[in-house]
A and B are shown apart, each in its own frame.
Chain A
């Protein structure tokens, strides 16, 4: 009886699930990524083509595009292609509050363009790292800017010797200002950060007020970099979309029935990607001992 049941179940399930190739004839999309930051005098523009979904995608770079940068409608620079790294470079320093447009003409005749307004940096900002405890306690202070919507992102990277930097996940934070987007009430973190270690704060159009956000995480890294940045609206939406899509793809294999994939935010006309901007501050702390207990 049981064998019959298994056989029927197998037939039913395999009959209902099929492998499909909806994108057999799918054409790669041009993707332009460019992040502008007033702290840097060099602008990098990546122009590549989207690739088939796989664990090791191969993004082919477009090497013959004509890319220009305009500031408040005036052409200010043209990009050159760095064939070693396969991206485009412009030596130019952008200014806060100014509007920039990046425009790329492809050899095919297509045109990609995206624009951004550089945000103001967090006003009167400071990051303090309290290292006197068993966990790092990082406090970010700044002033909201009156009359404008501001999007702030707070995060920290850690670094062990002989390894690359990693995002410090699951920070402990009780600030009600932090966006609790997609919080599962069953989560163990209080309040849980569902931006995968990033804390997002959307500052309303209120009078200028001081803001303070403190978070903690376990010590253990040789070096940490604590960041506080403000972003333009495009980059804010891009970060949200990316993180949502990443979380979906991490979980979907377990419960494919339960989730919808997140769509991708893009502000590029004629293709995909992002022309966004941010500016902010960073505080570095280098641990003399990996753990305070080691020094005891």
Chain B
């Protein structure tokens, strides 16, 4: 007892003397030297003290250190590292400008900044320039497709939208664009995301330790940051690919004071479709297109205040009809889209306290319709369904840096208006509308507090707690406390061991109704029947910096998801006339576990990464398969990705400077629902006694009963930067170079007395060429 008291006393005295030493704070922002844009997630690291910090989402950092001489290295993905030395004798503010590394001197994906020392687990950050050099389908660089190459991220089958992060379903990943949730991130068939690469700054995926400032989803967070726009110079860029064209323009509104960025992308696949149909003289006509429009205004009010206004609008449209209206007077169509707008105000109270206030509006809508023409184009019966989700949120986040702590606090209030499905029929005689009983607004209150605490040279701790309260559309109230914890033990200067635990809760469900997702998946609120879903996430990882800039990480994880919902068996339409989605859903549970390995070479002439995942993901519903576990549709046992860039050396005589990029993906097949065999019908007596024997039931023991063949493809691209006309570049690429027929879906076709099982593969070899010009 006396020894313990003595020890405590000594620690107290030591702490006192530590405090007695004079401490000062160095704070400021890290910015892009060429454009003045702030760089979220940039890192500062002091070699001697072995202490560092990471900029927050607005490029702000603050570090309190004892008086003395310091030598900091500042790094950010896609930029040349910069060293600064200074004497710290008073509180100091500074702006660190980083210079871009140039497109061909790109650094690639990186794990959490400073890699081994901090408490970040399962975090990957990608830069815009990296996204541009990767091989892309039809020349359209896509953020989400690149995410599929990371360990722990499993795509669905070819032609399906959505992806799974560590066993979570697509809705269980929170996707944020400049902090605003985006509720549908895919264009048709899921081949392209709504994120227009030209407008993005970076992308980070959190799939291990989820800090308490994030809430509302179960498995992971994808944080997409838009560029702020160049504060100093006007510029424009255009990219033309076989599928779409993109134009981006940016520049100062008032030099070094305010800037704008505007980027638009439009798909012109419809023109090709129309041409093909005209050549074929087709009686059936179909069309599809999409567009995205991103905008951002960045206003530096003064040294302490900055205001951002972000805007996004995207829409997809599809229709099919017959030319001869007299014979087939029908026209079917879908359209869906997102609109979001956000205002954010940053305020710096002092060198240690940073605040951000955000007000945003985000809306996702979906329309499906069918028109039947009566006599002419102007008179028709119309029926269909609509679904929409609107989210208005006001939130405040506060960062406070003190000593060895980085504290974050926040509060948010949301009003989410959901109209899960409204069906309508409009005829010459009468109009009818049916609304779902769960239509209405739910209110969500969120409170959080978290800390990143440097306990000692070897230990870092990140505890956090989040409270969430939800008032549902049917008058219920749910609340939850979600603790988060991450702990890092630095083993050697180049290796560490990390462990994390998170409880997450989700107050929206996504009902998926088809294997081929024409974006008719429906967001539904929590109700008395469909309770909030929650998850327990566990991770354990080891991280090591190897020779030659190689980084190695191995993470084991176990995720447990409760109160997940799915449609009952055989649902083919979204909602009956007088029913509600919640009467046709099942509540169950899913779990996933695995091991993610990654070997990353972020720098150098040859760079890239090799990733491997071993995982298992399965579901259980009491009303299915006798409650036994069955595979989830995103379950892929093994997944290997090799992503590599080779930058050819500069030759002043050559017209082009070249970079070759390779992407190879191999994964075990995922799971689909396919009839295997027939089994005799129970029709000895009872209701089915006189059923014809023609339709004996298929033997399908449970959903996702069939393990599909492995999925793999190799993509190659050649990026050519014109040396003479520096503004011009070309990309030549081939997707799926060896013509792998990856299964998209199966169907049965009767042929005489036999039934054939047929596989449809949607993407054979796809060559493309993309042209880029910067004004």
Asked whether, in the complex, the Cβ of A261 is within 8 Å of the Cβ of B675, the reply is: yes
Asked whether, in the complex, the Cβ of B687 is within 8 Å of the Cβ of A229, the reply is: yes
Asked whether, in the complex, the Cβ of B758 is within 8 Å of the Cβ of A17, the reply is: yes
* Distance of A51 Cα from B698 Cα, bound (Å): 9
Asked whether, in the complex, the Cβ of B682 is within 8 Å of the Cβ of A245, the reply is: no
Interface-side segment among B90-98, B254-262, B409-417, B573-581? B573-581
- The 0/1 profile, CB within 8 Å of B marked 1, for residues 211-242 of chain A is 00000000000000001010000010111111
Chain B residues lying within 8 Å of A108, measured Cβ to Cβ, are none
Chain B residues lying within 8 Å of A57, measured Cβ to Cβ, are 678, 696
* Distance of A3 Cα from B748 Cα, bound (Å): 30
Mostly, the B contact residues are: loop
Asked whether, in the complex, the Cβ of A186 is within 8 Å of the Cβ of B383, the reply is: yes
User: A294 to nearest B CB, angstroms?
Assistant: 25
Per a CB cutoff under 8 Å, which of A51, A244, A248 touches B677? A51
Asked whether, in the complex, the Cβ of A263 is within 8 Å of the Cβ of B687, the reply is: no
Asked whether, in the complex, the Cβ of B682 is within 8 Å of the Cβ of A276, the reply is: yes
B56 interface contact, C-beta 8 A: no
* Distance of A229 Cα from B688 Cα, bound (Å): 12
B705 nearest in chain A by CB position: A263
Asked whether, in the complex, the Cβ of A240 is within 8 Å of the Cβ of B706, the reply is: no
Asked whether, in the complex, the Cβ of B571 is within 8 Å of the Cβ of A23, the reply is: no
Per a CB cutoff under 8 Å, which of A40, A167, A249, A267 touches B695? A249
A251 nearest in chain B by CB position: B572
- The 0/1 profile, CB within 8 Å of A marked 1, for residues 362-393 of chain B is 00000000100000000000010100000000
* Distance of A21 Cα from B759 Cα, bound (Å): 10
Chain B residues lying within 8 Å of A198, measured Cβ to Cβ, are 687
The count of residues in chain A whose C-beta lies closer than 8 Å to any C-beta of chain B is: 90
Chain B residues lying within 8 Å of A72, measured Cβ to Cβ, are none
Q: A18-B741, A19-B756, A22-B706 known; A241 and B697 CB under 8 Å?
A: yes
Q: A35-B686, A264-B699 known; A18 and B759 CB under 8 Å?
A: yes
Chain A residues lying within 8 Å of B679, measured Cβ to Cβ, are 29, 31, 48, 50-51, 59, 264, 272-273
Interface-side segment among A98-106, A125-133, A177-185? A177-185
A253 interface contact, C-beta 8 A: yes
Asked whether, in the complex, the Cβ of A153 is within 8 Å of the Cβ of B687, the reply is: yes
Chain A residues lying within 8 Å of B756, measured Cβ to Cβ, are 19
Q: A180-B578, A183-B576, A237-B623 known; A35 and B757 CB under 8 Å?
A: no
* Distance of A10 Cα from B521 Cα, bound (Å): 32
A262 nearest in chain B by CB position: B570
B684 interface contact, C-beta 8 A: yes
Asked whether, in the complex, the Cβ of A16 is within 8 Å of the Cβ of B762, the reply is: yes
Asked whether, in the complex, the Cβ of B690 is within 8 Å of the Cβ of A46, the reply is: no
User: B525 to nearest A CB, angstroms?
Assistant: 22
Q: Chain B: interface residue count, which band?
A: 35 or more
User: B102 to nearest A CB, angstroms?
Assistant: 40
Chain A residues lying within 8 Å of B280, measured Cβ to Cβ, are 2, 5-6, 9
Asked whether, in the complex, the Cβ of B697 is within 8 Å of the Cβ of A16, the reply is: no
Chain A residues lying within 8 Å of B750, measured Cβ to Cβ, are 55, 253
* Distance of A185 Cα from B573 Cα, bound (Å): 9
A83 interface contact, C-beta 8 A: no
A186 nearest in chain B by CB position: B383
Asked whether, in the complex, the Cβ of A54 is within 8 Å of the Cβ of B754, the reply is: yes
User: B287 to nearest A CB, angstroms?
Assistant: 17
Q: A29-B679, A183-B576, A272-B701 known; A18 and B758 CB under 8 Å?
A: yes
Where the two chains meet, the residues of B that have a C-beta atom closer than 8 Å to any C-beta of A are 276, 279-281, 370, 383, 385, 423, 425, 434, 514-516, 568-573, 576-579, 584, 623-626, 673-682, 684-691, 694-703, 705-706, 739, 741, 745-750, 752-762, 764
Contacts A21-B757, A184-B573 known; list 9 others, CB within 8 Å. A22-B757, A50-B676, A55-B754, A57-B678, A167-B691, A183-B577, A245-B697, A263-B701, A274-B682
Can you show 7 pairs from A to B with CB atoms below 8 A apart?
Answer: A16-B762, A35-B682, A53-B676, A56-B753, A180-B576, A244-B569, A260-B514
Where the two chains meet, the residues of A that have a C-beta atom closer than 8 Å to any C-beta of B are 1-2, 5-6, 9, 12, 15-23, 26, 28-29, 31, 33-35, 37, 40, 44, 46, 48, 50-57, 59, 87, 153, 155, 157, 164-167, 176, 180-186, 191, 198, 227, 229, 235, 237-242, 244-250, 252-253, 256-267, 269, 272-274, 276, 278
| A-B pairs, 4 with minimum CB distance | A244-B570, A256-B747, A183-B576, A33-B682
